[in-house]
Structure 1
Amino acid sequence: MGVVQSLVSRQFNKFNVENRAQKIISQDKPKPAPKFDSNLRDLERVLQEYPELVNKQNKKDELLDDNLKQVYVTSTRSEPTRQRQLEYALPLDRSAVDDFEFGHLEPQKVSKGRCTLRQAMEFISNHQTDPSQWTAAAISKRYDLKESLVNDILKHFKPFELHLPENKQKGKAFPNTSNTNKLLN
């Protein structure tokens, strides 16, 4: 119903547009906005006290015009261009920054009880290659970590291992119906 209503209202709006526009354009003078009663009273009072004011406003004041023609502004001093002092130094090297190896900037200093991602990858891979030498106790002593935390890391994080999902076809009630359809045809 909304489509029909918009179509009908659009036709009414478009009806006789050119004539309405021409009528507005051909008007001689635009209508001024209505004035408040207090403004009208003030205007009448001023016109009664100073009847020559209307004539004076409509005439060109020759003395004022001559004085304005004699005024010239000349500048002898040029304003020096000042560069804004920055509170910080702008970078001198504008080359693109290379991506970091592990996706973020590595800290220069690591607090006690923590390790960087590079260190974690290093001790996990060392433990995988030689578990007898790189035990959890040796790793925790070298990197100043809790031994329980190192045990959890070594248990749950294994790089370079591939886990393939189990075959999901075995548990289905109707395994791969597309193949059976091909066989029937």
Structure 2
Amino acid sequence: MGKIYSVLTRPVRTFNIENRAAKLISREKPIPAPQYASTEKQKKLSDQVNPYFLEDHYQKNTQLDQRLKNVFVTSTDSQEMKEPARDSKVLPQSRRSWENDFTFESYEPTMIPMGKCSLKQALTFLLQHKHDPIKYSSENIASEYKIDKKIIDDILKYFKIYVTALPNNTRQPKEFLDSIEDPIQEFIDKGLEVKQKDKEKKK
């Protein structure tokens, strides 16, 4: 209903709109909006107290301006610059591009914290323990990698390396499964070679 009323009253509202707008714009001083009775009362009271308040308000007071110029702020703090608190985490320093020499191996971190090990190291000592449990016991592994013996015991107990199982021979004896080549054997061998080379360089 409102849309119909707007369409019907539009010709009346737009009648001679250009002349009416020009007449309103050509006025020297616009008509001020009506004020509340309380505002009018406040204006009358202020005129009685100080009728020249607005004139004095918009004039520059030289005495106050001079006082402002005479104000100086002197800092008593030391000028030593305090260094911002550094984050305890070390940011990566390697800026090498991996586009050309990309491999599908897991990322090997440059810095390994005490009591931790990388994925390659974990796979390495799991394979070593599998082939020779006496030489690579949990005590020897814990002392070599500086990890708690209980953590090494849990890793050796709950984590195993994948082996290849043929679909037609689901009931294979344990000896046969142990003799099957591991799919990540080459990956582990490369890690062992790199570790051996690092030991030889340190010597």
- Report the TM-score when normalising by structure 1: 0.40
TM-score normalised by length of structure 2: 0.38
The higher-RCO structure (CA 8 Å, 6+ apart) is: 2
